[in-house]
Amino acid sequence: MSALNTLTLAAARDALRKGETTSVELTEACLKAIEGADALNAFVHKTPEIALERARAADARIAQGDAPAMCGLPIGIKDLFCTKGVPSQAASNILKGFLPEYESTVSQNLLDAGAVMLGKLNMDEFAMGSSNETSAYGNAVNPWRRGNDDTALTPGGSSGGSASAVAADLCLAATGTDTGGSIRQPAAFVGITGIKPTYGRCSRWGIVAFASSLDQAGPMTKDVRDAAIMLEAMCSSDPKDSTSTDLPVPNFEAMLTGDIRGKTIGIPKEYRMDGMPDEIEALWTRGAEMLKDAGAKIVDISLPHTKYALPAYYVIAPAEASSNLARYDGVRYGHRAKLAQGDGITEMYEKTRAEGFGKEVQRRVMVGTYVLSAGFYDAYYNRARKVRTLIKKDFEDVFAQGVDAILTPATPSAAFGLGEMQDADPVQMYLNDVFTVTVNLAGLPGIAVPAGLDRQGLPLGLQLIGRPWEEGDLLNTALALESAAGFVAKPAKWW
């Protein structure tokens, strides 16, 4: 057996059931890998005692023949999830030291399925960012490097810590969240699989909110089968989240046949952007051919409102964020600024929020406040909502024409160097989301699958977009793509 921490969820699960290893051994292997990986800055709160206690409990359950789906499998949890008694601060100074008295529904579902939490994972502050550089903990680092230099690369964002940890085998899998691409872009940057399910599939209860109408949790895993296993464990109908679905959770793993004969895959012409690197374009074409070879029918489709998606997203998401983040005011929990004699409530708010929020969060709160303000609401927020409706309809139309899934690149580039975008216009950074935001605006499921390496040896991913609530079908198409692509590369260990 390979080193325990490098196993997939499926392989580890099977090994546990066969008695070939124990959860404690798996957990210890991961804890050891985490200890040696501080340079990646992926784990920001390590919980080895909790992990070992849960691993022992899992071993006892397995011994009794009572092993639920994720029993004994060590995973990492993104810092955006509130975990009872464990620091949960959304990588923000404003929530420094915040210890929730409750467990998010998704992490509770994973615990109930027997999963072992190793600790909390780095991310962009409040999930706002595409490079992990907005984190109050300092950024996580991509375990991959370009073949010819030692430049530290971004693991992507916002779920960059999750991506880095899974790619570097610090855990078998991790949770992520995705508001505009925050699972799929980092997954693509580190060569792993990440799925954002249909909006409403995973409960948002207990996940620190960024943009409520867009936020969805999802798994980040070493392969498609693992994504199916973990997604099933994460989903539920949750009466505590009014936007959560009533639909039953399917057995996603059972739907993985790899057979996609007769399926129709759409290639949207609007995703062919000016200045797109030819390597990405070539990968996209290759991906279409692989699916065709697997028996799918490839059709050209049009999603005419695509070009309005990014601006609409950067109105709607900040608008919701500006309101969602109003609660961080220093009154009840988290950071409160030291006040000078004579300071009143206004000074308390201003100083607390100026100290507690990083620059990118402040920028988005200001943008969001602006687009909702009197006189600008119709021009920005309302118009963006109309665009959103049109984008949703674009997808409905192609699905109505018989398209089962849509193939696009996951990102417009491979992982870039940390600090490289520092002086760029923030809009340059926002362009990272160009292929992914449409999926959030339309509430659809989308999955990023590693499909190849670029000239410099960095992973590149493709995205598949599915019909609403048909994650099982989407995962199956992703499995076909994964099998055809045969991506097995791993980063060379330098940390």
Partner 1 sequence: MLDLTYEPPKPKVIAGAKHDWELVIGMEIHAQVSSRAKLFSGASTEFGAEPNSNVAFVDAAMPGMLPVINEFCVEQAVRTGLGLKAEINLVSAFDRKNYFYPDLPQGYQISQLYHPIVGEGEVLVEMGPGVARLVRIERIHLEQDAGKSIHDMDPNMSFVDFNRTGVALMEIVSRPDIRGPEEAAAYVTKLRQILRYLGTCDGNMQNGNLRADVNVSVCRVGQYEKYQETQDFSHLGTRCEIKNMNSMRFIQQAIEYEARRQIAIVEAGGKVEQETRLYDPDKGETRSMRSKEEAHDYRYFPDPDLLPLEIEQAWVDGIAASMPELPDARKARYMADYGLTDYDANVLTAEVDTAAYFEAVAQGRDGKMAANWVLNELFGRLKKDNHELSDSPMSAAQLGTILDLIAKGDISGKIAKDLFEIVFTEGGDPAEIVESRGMKQVTDTGAIETAVDEVIAANPAQVEKAKANPKLAGWFVGQVMKATGGKANPAAVNEIVARKLGL
User: Which residues in this chain contact partner 1 in the complex, by CB under 8 A?
Assistant: 81-82, 88, 90, 95, 98, 100-102, 104, 204-209, 211-213, 239-243, 319-320, 322-323, 325-327, 329, 331-333, 345, 349, 369, 372-374, 377, 381
Q: Please state the closest distance from residue 376 (CB atom) to partner 1, in A.
A: 10
Q: For residue 2, is the peptide bond before it cis, meaning its omega torsion is within 30 degrees of 0? A: no
User: Minimal distance in Å, beta carbon 79 to partner 1?
Assistant: 11
What's the CA gap between 131 and 154, in Å, rounded? 5
CB atoms within 10 A of CB 242: 9
Torsion on CA atoms 277, 224, 48, 236, rounded to nearest 10:
110
Whether cis (ω within 30° of 0) applies to the bond prior to 158 is: yes
> In what helix (H) or strand (E) does residue 480 lie, and over which residues does it extend?
helix 471-485
The position carrying tokens 């409990």 is 57
Three-state DSSP state, 90: coil
Tokens of 456: 């410099």
Q: CA 257, CA 122: separation in Å to the nearest integer?
A: 34
**158 part of the active site:** yes
Of the listed 158, 159, 164, 203, which one is catalytic? Answer: 158
**Shortest approach of partner 1 to residue 127 CB, angstroms?**
12
Would you say 64 or 242 has its CB closer to partner 1? Answer: 242
Specify the residue, 17 or 240, whose C-beta has the smaller distance to partner 1.
240
Query: What phi and psi, each to the nearest 5 degrees, are found at residue 188?
Result: -65, -35
Among 92, 131, 162, 182, which one carries the catalytic annotation? 182
Query: Which residues, listed in sequence order, are joined to residue 466 by a DSSP beta bridge?
Result: 405
Query: Among residues 221, 197, 216, 175, which one has the least CA distance to residue 77?
Result: 175
User: Tokens 């950071």 correspond to what residue?
Assistant: 335
182 in catalytic set: yes
Question: Which residue, 250 or 330, is less far from partner 1 as judged by CB?
Answer: 330
Least Å distance between CB 338 and partner 1? 14
The minimum distance between CB 281 and partner 1, in angstroms, equals 36
Spatial contact of 478 and 193, defined as CB atoms under 8 Å apart: yes
Q: Which is nearer to partner 1, 296 or 444 (CB)?
A: 444
In terms of Cα–Cα distance, which of 482, 490, 487 is closest to 228? 482
**Looking at beta carbons only, is 98 or 430 nearer to partner 1?**
98
DSSP letters of 296-353?
PEEEEE--TTGGGHHHHHHHHHHHHHHHHGGG-SSSSSS------TT--HHHHHHHHH
Comparing CB distances to partner 1, the nearer of 257 and 341 is 341
Evaluate the CA torsion angle 8, 13, 19, 23 in order and state its sign.
Answer: positive
Residue closer to partner 1, measured from CB, 191 or 206: 206
50 and 111 in contact (C-beta within 8 Å)?
Answer: no
- Give yes or no: 386 in active site: no
Other Cβ atoms less than 10 A from the Cβ of 420: the count is 14
Min dist CB 260 to partner 1, Å, is: 34
Q: Which is nearer to partner 1, 100 or 156 (CB)?
A: 100
CB of 369 to partner 1, least distance (A): 7
Q: How far apart are CA 188 and CA 191, in angstroms?
A: 5
Q: How far is the CB of 164 from partner 1 (least distance, A)?
A: 24
Given the residues 23, 78, 130, 322, the one annotated as active site: 78
Q: What's the distance, Cα to Cα, between the start and end of the chain in Å?
A: 23
**Residues annotated as part of the active site:** 78, 158, 182
